[in-house]
Each structure stands twice: as C-alpha cells, then as structure tokens.
A and B are shown apart, each in its own frame.
Chain A
Amino acid sequence: MSPGGGNPSHYADPVPGDADEPTAGDLLLRLRGGDHSALADLYRAHAALVHTIALRLLGDHHEAEEVTQRVFVGAWNSRHTADPSRGSSAAWLVGITRNTVADRLGQRARAVRDLHAVRDSSAAPTHAPAVDSSVIDRVLLARALAGLGEPRASIVRLAFADDLTHEQIAATLQLPLGTVKSHLRRGLLQLRKGIKGVGNDASQR
C-alpha cells in the first residue's frame, strides 16, 4: 500500500532494477557539451528505433537509411536543444525522426505535384500525407516488448497476442502460475513505463 494517499504513488516505480536510461540525462548533457562520444552512445542506443520508424513510415530501405543519417546529424547540429528535463533522449530523437520523415513525405508530394503540373496545369495540389503516429507507437511498443527480457517477453506475447490463459502459459513454459502472473504484471508496468513520454505522449498533435 502506498503511504500518505498522495497521487505520486500512482507513478512510483514498482519494478525494481529496470530503471531505463539511467544515464540518459548525462548523455544529453554530454551531447550539449559537444562530446562526440555522446553521439556514438546515442546512436548505439537508438539507431534501430529511428531506422525502424523511418522504414515503417516510408517503406523504403534507402530512404530509411538516409533519414537515419539526417536524424543523427540533425541531433548533433541541434544539440543545444537537447534538454534532459523535457524528456528522454528517445523522445527527443523520435521527435526529430517525425519531422525528418514529414519532410520526406512533403518532398514526395511535391514531386508528384510537379509531375501532374507538367501533364495537366489544372491539377489540384497534392498534400503530403501526415506522419502516421500509430506506426510510431507500434514501433515504440515493440521496442519496449523486446526490452522485457525472457521469459517475460514470451509470457506477455503468449497472454496478450496469442490469448493463452495464465494456466496454459504456466503449463506451456513449465513455470509456476504465480510466476507467470507476476511476470505479466511487472511486464505490463514495464511496457507502460517504456513508452511513456515518447511518441504520441510527447508529440504536439
């Protein structure tokens, strides 16, 4: 039970030992200070996230790689805007990724419009499709899932994606029922924590 009845108990971290990005603030501060190794650390931590979001939104390997390059070079160039008090390094990079992908989609739309203009001067302007936030949310959740470790990630998938009962999961993985339930509870809280403040939560839609 939480002491005092204050609302902070709602967001207390009940899962020990899974504090994410313990040095995230340090990382952004090092980046602001012009430390190149901080950019390398940032890349190692988040390149797959940025690249996968770009790949899913643009559907093109070549463009996704270019966007990844632009995002990290852009992060370096705008490192003075990195502010640990305003969110995690992942949230900051996802924001830059969103803008970079939006630019790409805009370029594509302009290219289509130019093509129409050549053929038909009365063609209506083509608007760039908006960045699909649900795609970003799915990738963030996939990343949080992968970060659960085993057997927790398998248990969460069997329960929520395959709809096995807790008893079936216990028998399937040969784990005690209480262990399965405990992994599910902690896994769900970890997932919530993993996506909080990134993606839609952090974007100004």
Chain B
Amino acid sequence: MHPNDEVLVAIALGDEVAQGDAEHVRGCAECGATVTELAGLIARVPAAGDIDLVEPPAEVWTRIAAEVAQQPGEVSSVAQPDLPAAADGRWSRRAWLLGAAAAGVAVGVAGAQLLPRLAQPQPTVLMRTSLDTLDTQQPGGQATLIAQGQSLQLALNVTPLDPGGGFLEVWLINIDLKRMVSIGVLPAGVTQQGFAVSGDLVDAGYRIVDISRELLDDRPEHSGDSLLRGTLV
C-alpha cells in the first residue's frame, strides 16, 4: 500500500518517516517518482522566488472590453472586473512599512524574546539578505526583516563570530553610505538573534546590515572593523 502524500513530502524534505514507509518508497517506482518530482519542485523555488507578478495597466482591460463590445451579434455591455489591487507581491514591504511608520513604531533595541508574540497577522518576511565577509565575500549568514503585528524585527542567522577582545555590534547603514545607527549587540557565541527596528528607518534607506567588531573603549562610533555585511532587498 502506497503511503500518502504527507509521507512522500516528508521524505522529499529529508524528514524522518516510519521505517515501513521508508522501505516501501525505496522499492516503489511510483512513490519514488513522486519524491523525485517534489525534490525537483524544491530545486526550482529559488528561481521562481525572484519573480513578481505584474498586473497590466488598467487601460489594457478597457481596450479588451471595447474590442469585444464591437463584435457583431454580442450584447454590448461588458462588465468591468473589480480590478485587483496591486499584486500581492513577494515581500509586500512597501505597504507594511508605511503602515508601521504611521503607527509610530519606536526605534529601539530589544532581544527577540522581549517582543510580544502577536498572533495576528502572521509573521511575514519583508526583506532579506545574505551576509558576507567584506574582503573575500565568504557567506557568513542571513539577515531577515520580519513583520509581525505592529513590530518589525531584524533576525540574524550567522556563523559564530569572533569578537576579538571586544564585542560584536549590529548596525544599519544607510544606502547613501553616510549615516548609520547601531541596533544592538550580538552576544559572543550567539548565532541567532532578533533586533527590533523601525519601519521609518528602513524606509529612509537604512538597509545595509553590518556586524562589526568593537573595542571596549569610549568611542561609540563604528570601529571600521566590519565582519559581515549585506543589503536588505
């Protein structure tokens, strides 16, 4: 008996399944083909994830309706479709950021645990970037800007970083490369941390995520010793 789709998709995702199911799938061409199909689908997500669907301008429908209405033997009234609002884009960040700005989200620093866990709306990735070393562009992790409820937070997933004799500071640098703000400290040894940020800030162009090594001195500005950097898009 073939296992159901839930089991096959678990196998495609590399999750553990019951031994009997795993054995069946290894010996069954039909189930094997489904797992292969699902794995192929996974491999195609990156290329599709970068495509935004684009609504045609409103006048295209006007022209279609006019052309169809002119045809002989047809009723001339063509219903107007309720044209959809702007396509529900990949990371519908614009609308969200405007809303967040209007709600006056404070600029601040907080650990991920401090943020209220709001049930609604669902957490949604607005922007993201890989974080790479400045010199050799080696991958060092990911930064993800996540909206949930009225809060906006920057989640970091990074390889373990060496603070040297000091500490690790997380910055948002403006894309004009002239201004920057510190959004918090990444504790030594921590590879996963969230930082509250404001929509105003991101909207104003503070989109370059930078993790620097800072000395324990009385100079609050950026040390210039950047370990990882990436630009949120």
Chain A residues near B (Cβ < 8 Å):
1-2, 4-5, 7, 9-12, 14, 34, 36-37, 39-41, 43-44, 47-49, 51-52, 55-56, 64-65, 68-69, 72-73, 76-77, 137-139, 141-143, 145-146, 149-151, 154, 156-158, 160-162, 164, 168, 171-175, 181, 184-185, 188-189, 191-192, 195
Tell whether A192 pairs with B51 under 8 Å between CB atoms, given A36-B78, A44-B81, A44-B84. Answer: no
Task: Please pick, from A14, A146, A150, A189, the residue contacting B122 in the complex, using a CB distance under 8 A.
Answer: A150
B124 contacts which of A1, A73, A151 (Cβ < 8 Å)?
A151
Are A174 and B117 in contact, with the CB atoms below 8 A? yes
A sample of 16 inter-chain contacts (CB < 8 A) reads: A2-B1, A47-B61, A51-B55, A69-B64, A137-B44, A145-B48, A146-B53, A150-B124, A160-B42, A160-B45, A162-B142, A173-B155, A174-B123, A181-B15, A185-B13, A188-B38
10 nearest A-B residue pairs (beta carbon):
A141-B48, A160-B45, A142-B51, A40-B81, A5-B1, A44-B81, A154-B125, A37-B79, A51-B56, A151-B122
Considering only residues 19-56 of chain B, those with a C-beta below 8 Å from chain A are: 30-31, 34, 37-38, 41-49, 51-56
Taking each of B9, B46, B60, B192, which has the highest tally of chain A beta carbons within 10 Å of its own beta carbon?
A: B60
User: Bound complex: CA of A192 vs CA of B80, how far in Å?
Assistant: 32
Contact of A145 among B30, B43, B49, B78 (CB under 8 A): B49
How many A-B contacts at CB < 8 Å in the complex? Answer: 195
CB contacts (< 8 Å) of A68 on chain B: these are 56, 60
Contacts of A51 in B (CB 8 A): 54-56, 60
B12 near A172 with CB under 8 A, answer no
In B122-179, the 8 Å CB interface with A consists of: 122-125, 128, 130, 142, 144, 146, 148, 155, 157
Q: How far is the CA of A52 from the CA of B54 in the complex (A)?
A: 5
A142-B49, A160-B45, A188-B38 as given contacts; A174 in contact with B112, CB under 8 Å: yes
Across the interface, do B53 and A139 meet the contact criterion of CB distance under 8 Å? Answer: yes
Bound together, the chains give a CA A157 to CA B15 distance in angstroms of: 18
C-alpha gap A77/B71 in the complex (Å): 9
Report Cα–Cα, A5/B84, bound state, in Å: 43
Q: Are B80 and A40 in contact (CB under 8 A)?
A: yes
Known: A164-B157, A185-B10. 14 other contacts (CB 8 A): A2-B3, A10-B30, A34-B75, A40-B80, A48-B87, A65-B57, A73-B67, A146-B87, A146-B90, A154-B124, A164-B142, A184-B13, A189-B9, A192-B37
Asked whether B49 lies within 8 Å of A161 as measured between CB atoms, the reply is: yes
By a CB distance below 8 angstroms, the chain B residues around A10 are: 2, 5, 30-31, 34
Smallest Cβ-Cβ distance to A134: which chain B residue: B47
Instruction: List chain A residues, Cβ under 8 A from B1.
Output: 1-2, 4-5
B64, B144, B148: residue with the most chain A Cβ atoms closer than 10 Å: B64
Interface of A is mostly: helix
Q: Say yes or no: A141-B30 contact (C-beta < 8 A), given A2-B1, A172-B146, A192-B38.
A: no
Determine the chain A residues whose CB is within 8 A of the CB of B51 once the complex forms.
52, 56, 138-139, 142
Assess whether B121 is interfacial by the CB under 8 Å rule.
yes
A145 touches B45 (CB 8 A): yes
A177 to B73, CA, bound (A): 60
Inter-chain contacts of B148 with A (CB < 8 A): 174
A37 CA to B79 CA in the complex, in Å? 5
Cα A49 to Cα B77 with chains together (Å): 25
